[in-house]
Structure 1
Amino acid sequence: MDITPALSAILVQSHSAKAISQETKRLTQTLDAFLKEAYQINSSLNSLLTYLRAIRQPYLSSALPPRRSHQAASTGVGPLQDIPTHLTDPQRTAIDESTSSLLRDLNGSIVNLSSAADLQHDTASKMLQKKYGRPTSILLRWAAGSDGPDRDAGKSDEQIQEEGRVRTTTDFRSAVLWYLRMKLEVAARTQGGMVDQRVERERHKQLSRLSDVRNKGIRSTSLPTKQGNGEDGGVGDTGDSYGAIDLRGHDRYDPTHDSSNGDKNALQLSEEQVQLFETENAGLFSHFNEQLSKITVAEKSLLEISSLQQTLLGHLSVQGEQIESLVDNAAQTGEDLKKGNKELKRAGERGSTAKMVFWGTAGLCGFLVTWDLIF
């Protein structure tokens, strides 16, 4: 007879770990609206940070995309599988706009969540005050046996528990909001750093293009002219004479010190050269206008990120003040607990004296009744 299935069932029943309860699986479904909204904001922040870290390398890369690439570039915050390996300038601008818009939306969600938490706290406090009132009079403190400014003096145990529950909920929600604001600041700082590096690289690229090799064949007017070997003794070909000379940044022509202005053999530009220079100047002008528009868009993104960071810093400073007040409240609660223990000890002593008086009085009365019955 094979007893393996029965033995396996006994071992599983006796030594296996407990299965995960359905209550744990439905934990996110039973949370209140505050925690659900905070969880959603935290998930969006995690997705944004993951996307920014993944898009950083192609965003800052200066390599040109391949000509025959049919890869669909993603310009919004999406799954990591859609992140391209090369980006164009319009795609980078679209990424800046989408991430800035998402950061503003997340900041607005956190502000709305904070306002809702404050409103709930005020409502709960007013309901407690309406239900129990404010036992702050000197008579009630004296009746409660408190000599110092105890905020729990004259309150019932139920009231103290409910007020402690409200304070704990408020402290927990403040910590959640502080965590979300810190994470939002990290995301804003990450995007701002990427935009800063992009602007810095564009600036260095433009500076390097100023010394492009396209100006290598331009002849400097400050160098002496070189005569050709022709029979007419005229000026030779300028491209053959100075084609191997690098004149970038070395032309220090000053018309006030030029002694060859009136010389008939001075260098004169032909119409083709003038046309070439005009074409190059127009191309450079359009190129710099395009780069200037890109830098303007990047500066606009930086200004938006800077304003968002200032708003976050303001919220964090307020949150820091609230945390300091919570620390002070915790210290005050510790002092109140010490005072409460002392009062309980005094009440215990007073209770013992009262018991002795009661039992002494009861014994005397019993003795008198017995004496009256006997005699």
Structure 2
Amino acid sequence: MRQAALTSIVDNRVNKGLVIMADITAAFNTALKAHNAPPVTSHRYSIDRLDEFLKEAYSINARIADLTAYLRAIRPSYLSTAPAPRRPQRQNSADQKSTHDATQRHLSDTERASIDAEAKTVLRQLHAAVERISQTEQIRQDTASHIALRKRNQGGLGAIGRWAAGGAVTAKSAEEEEEEARQKMLNAHRESIV
């Protein structure tokens, strides 16, 4: 009965174009408790617990978002081809003035050139920051690969020693394969960020 009611609610929402995910954490925790498993705890996201690569990536993303918001705010004034008013316009209230100034303020050619120069400077800085974290990540990947290779070959004669001991020349231990998989996942994650 309960399942049928839930199914009909979900079907109605899907038919109306609404897809809403219900919070079933409490029911899931009850099921976990029935199987003597620890409940799911809420995870508080904190940027302070991230590594330096992700902190820098979030910083770059925040600067891009700020630049985008600024450019969107001045876009109507920047693109306006209307001639400058001959005399200043009067406003009745401070509310109307701030709204009017933000969206309809006339920009001179020197102001537009200044905005262009500032935007170019910020874009160059952002590009340099992205290149810097990309290069840093490439160095980290190369170093991790070099360390893994040195660990693999440290047992005296390396691959020959493993072969002489009865192991295959290219066979990797479970620990080496696990570390390699971990590095591949980290590399893919960071490449998607860059």
TM-score (norm 1): 0.34
TM-aligned CA deviation for residue 89 of structure 1: 1.2
Match of 2:180 in 1: 163
| 1:38–1:176 CA contact under 8 A, matched in 2 | yes
Larger CA Rg, structure 1 vs 2: 1
C-alpha distance in 1, partners of 2:101/2:44? 34
TM-aligned CA deviation for residue 110 of structure 1: 0.5
Task: Indicate how the Cα distance of structure 1 residues 145 and 113 shifts in structure 2: closer, same or farther if over 3 A, else same.
Answer: closer
TM-aligned CA deviation for residue 50 of structure 1: 2.8
C-alpha distance in 2, partners of 1:162/1:70? 69
- Higher mean displacement: 106-115 or 159-168: 159-168
| 1:140–1:154 CA contact under 8 A, matched in 2 | no
TM-aligned CA deviation for residue 111 of structure 1: 0.7
2:44 is paired with a residue of what secondary structure? helix
| 2:74–2:102 CA contact under 8 A, matched in 1 | yes
Matched ranges for 1:143-222 at <5 A: 143-144=166-167, 153-177=170-194
Match of 1:87 in 2: 107
State the aligned residue count: 147
C-alpha distance in 2, partners of 1:38/1:25? 16
C-alpha distance in 2, partners of 1:88/1:111? 34
C-alpha distance in 2, partners of 1:46/1:129? 41
Task: Indicate how the Cα distance of structure 1 residues 141 and 89 shifts in structure 2: closer, same or farther if over 3 A, else same.
Answer: farther
C-alpha distance in 2, partners of 1:32/1:40? 12
| Gap regions ≥5 residues in structure 1 | 1-13, 72-79, 147-152, 178-375
Structure 2: which amino acid aligns with 1:119? I
TM-score (norm 2): 0.62
Work out whether 1:49 is the aligned partner of 2:68.
yes
Percentage identity across aligned positions? 33
Matched ranges for 1:245-284 at <5 A: none
Match of 1:124 in 2: 144
C-alpha distance in 2, partners of 1:70/1:101? 35
C-alpha distance in 2, partners of 1:111/1:141? 45
CA displacement 1:259-301 (0-9 Å, x = unmatched): xxxxxxxxxxxxxxxxxxxxxxxxxxxxxxxxxxxxxxxxxxx
C-alpha distance in 2, partners of 1:102/1:51? 12
| Gap regions ≥5 residues in structure 2 | 1-25, 30-38, 92-98
Matched ranges for 1:193-342 at <5 A: none
Structure 1: which amino acid aligns with 2:176? Q
TM-aligned CA deviation for residue 144 of structure 1: 4.3
C-alpha distance in 1, partners of 2:75/2:159? 60
Match of 2:54 among 35, 56, 59: 35
Task: Indicate how the Cα distance of structure 1 residues 64 and 116 shifts in structure 2: closer, same or farther if over 3 A, else same.
Answer: same
C-alpha distance in 1, partners of 2:101/2:59? 22
Task: Indicate how the Cα distance of structure 1 residues 173 and 19 shifts in structure 2: closer, same or farther if over 3 A, else same.
Answer: closer
Match of 2:153 in 1: 133
- Give the alignment's Cα RMSD to 1 decimal: 3.5
Work out whether 1:24 is the aligned partner of 2:41.
no
CA displacement 1:80-105 (0-9 Å, x = unmatched): 99845221111111100000001100
Work out whether 1:115 is the aligned partner of 2:138.
no
Task: Indicate how the Cα distance of structure 1 residues 141 and 117 shifts in structure 2: closer, same or farther if over 3 A, else same.
Answer: farther
TM-aligned CA deviation for residue 29 of structure 1: 1.4
1:24 is paired with a residue of what secondary structure? coil
